[in-house]
Amino acid sequence: MTDQFNNQNGYTPQSGQPYQQPNFQHSHQQPVVNPQQPHPAKPSTGRTFGTAFAGAALACVIAFGGFTVYQNVTETPSGSNVTLGASTNTEIQAQSTDDTLPEAVAQKCLPSVAAIDVYTQQTSTDMLGRSTSNSGTLTESSLGSGVVLSEDGYIVTNNHVVAGADALKVTVGGEEYDADVVGTDESSDIAVVKLQGASGLTPIEIGDSDNLTIGEWVMSIGSPFGLEQSVATGIVSATSRSQIMSNAESSGSDGYGYGYGYGNPSSQSGGYTIYPNMIQTDAAINPGNSGGALVDSNGKLIGINTLITSYSGNYSGVGFAIPVNYAVNIAQQIIEGKTPTHAQLGVSLSTVNSQNAKHYGLKVDSGAYIAAVSAGSGAADAGLEEGDIITKFDGNAVDSASDLMLDVRSKNPGDTVTLEVNRNGETKQLQVTLGSDESSQAAPTTQNSSKNGSSSGSNELLNRLFNNGSSSQGNAA
């Protein structure tokens, strides 16, 4: 299948670097996570979906690589007075869901959804596949979608859509614009781009993702396979689906692997992308839809289309969108020139399971083991200690370190939560006020390189307990 693009051949930007269309077809091969080998999940609670992968970038080489040049958010607010979303709300009146509702919603929302074309510089490689030089030519390497948040051209999309881009061209309302990346939040997969010289655009109306009903009608809008202004209808299949993907997992060497599978390993930060409380939908989401809109029956934005689960790499009826309340909060911080922040407990964690619990005589066989507590954190102030095992978060069972990370990320800095902790066999209830991860975003994981148990104290125990003497990796929450 051949992509259809609206780009102009021979366009020359102000920098003097020519754009050109690729002389090959996009493969559209999505990096596939084997659904038979899921990430640790909690099937009994429905809080996690075990297999997922990113659903936008069509070339398997453009994930997070080379993007630090665009992460230029400063302390000076660049858009502090920007109003996000439409200033008025309108209700759609339709006679029948089967008849006019999709038409009415599409007519209302299509002007607010953009197609994003990503260009990267052509590079030459030697016999070993190493990059040797740049040709200076910008070639279209991938594509995705975005949603208009303001009349002057602020667009929200996924970080994995624009990561690694050397230039962007965005089509919205039938017009094509050059665009700049304002800032990104890799850990939540949200990015904001700004169209150059845009005015009078149609911002989307923003809905409320906290009040969704399973089974309610929704529409996905974007550019699947480069087919701009495409819509598909479905329902909200489930809510509160959550997943964590490490950036190491997101760079499968064969283009498939686990997680995203299209990353450049040399460009990975070593952190995590955390997706809390995702909206699951059966509305079609395909490569190119990432960053696009999931809207309700009134044409209000409720989610940013981001992930799919599939054996083939294409739509299989299970897609996921970042809730709009969460996405717009991150976008607002980026537009205001702030570093996006998230709730943080202030501990390093590893997972307790039945195997290591039995082997080392732990009092519980599931939970999140605290390997270290950060001084001055909410965890320290609440009296959490190394060796504690967190088993519940606000009354919900915690079966793993990943569970706890997702629970924490679903809250806001300053929120107070109740933890149930097992300390040497005794159960304790602790109230913890969550802090912010602003100062620690650059190092969301802690790693210990010891392979021979040479560490001391709790680090040595952590190596032996959870990694059988191999190099350890602890999750930070």
What is the set of active-site residues? 160, 189, 290
Whole-angstrom distance, CA of residue 182 vs CA of residue 176: 18
Q: If you search the block for the tokens 């929302």, which residue do you land on? A: 109
Neighbours of 443 (CB within 10 A): 13
For residue 168, CA distances in Å to 25, 57, 194, 195, 365 come to 19, 14, 10, 9, 50
Residues 125 and 131: beta-carbon distance below 8 Å: yes
Residues 52 and 260: beta-carbon distance below 8 Å: no
Whole-angstrom distance, CA of residue 16 vs CA of residue 27: 29
**149: left (phi > 0), else alpha (psi -120 to 50), else beta?**
alpha
Residues 40 and 351: beta-carbon distance below 8 Å: yes
Helix (H) or strand (E) holding 161: helix 159-162
Whole-angstrom distance, CA of residue 391 vs CA of residue 228: 47
DSSP state string for 311-341: SSSS--S-EEEEEHHHHHHHHHHHHTTPPP-
Neighbours of 2 (CB within 10 A): 8
